Amino acid sequence: MGYPAAVLARFDAPPNAGAVAPGPGTVLRGQAGGTGEGVSVAFEFRVADGRIVAGAFRAFGCPYTIAACSLVAERLAGREARALAEFKPLGLADELELPAARRGRLLTIEDALRSCWRAWDNKGLAASNVSRSDP
């Protein structure tokens, strides 16, 4: 199978692959999928002052999955943390020329991003600042 040039460029040397670089801020982690499903995605994003300052990923999957994860980590840098909940990886399908059979990979990527968002959204929750009412 011949992959599009945009996919091959990111698959051969994927920018942002690995762990997020050390620095100030909070590191958020999220993952989705599993190797038994043929795709597993994990993201790390460093957030400082409410903005994503760096992103990285680890992924198991086809070249389309790797390329899409690389693009997501790159495109979210500089955006507000809520972009983790709002970014729609399905918007990358045409750019990466994803065949219909591979578009489900983008939903796994979206799930991993939502997992990062939940980590951000819940980071301030602690026993001291959560109200609870028991009947």
CATH topology classification for 5-121: Sufe protein. Chain: A (3.90.1010)
Task: Enumerate the H helices of the chain as residue ranges.
Answer: 5-12, 63-76, 83-86, 104-121
**Between vectors from CA 71 to CA 66 and to CA 76, what angle results, nearest 5°?**
130
pLDDT tens for 15-29 read 999 999 999 999 999
The residue whose two tokens read 């939903």 is: 107
Write down the pLDDT at residue 3: 94
pLDDT tens for 77-123 read 999 999 999 999 999 999 999 999 999 999 999 999 999 999 888 87
What is the Cα–Cα distance from 30 to 44, expressed in whole angstroms? Answer: 7
Task: Note whether 24 and 48 are within 8 A (CB).
Answer: yes
The residue whose two tokens read 């729609």 is: 88
Q: Where does the pLDDT of residue 1 fall: very low under 50, low under 70, confident under 90, or very high at 90 and above?
A: low
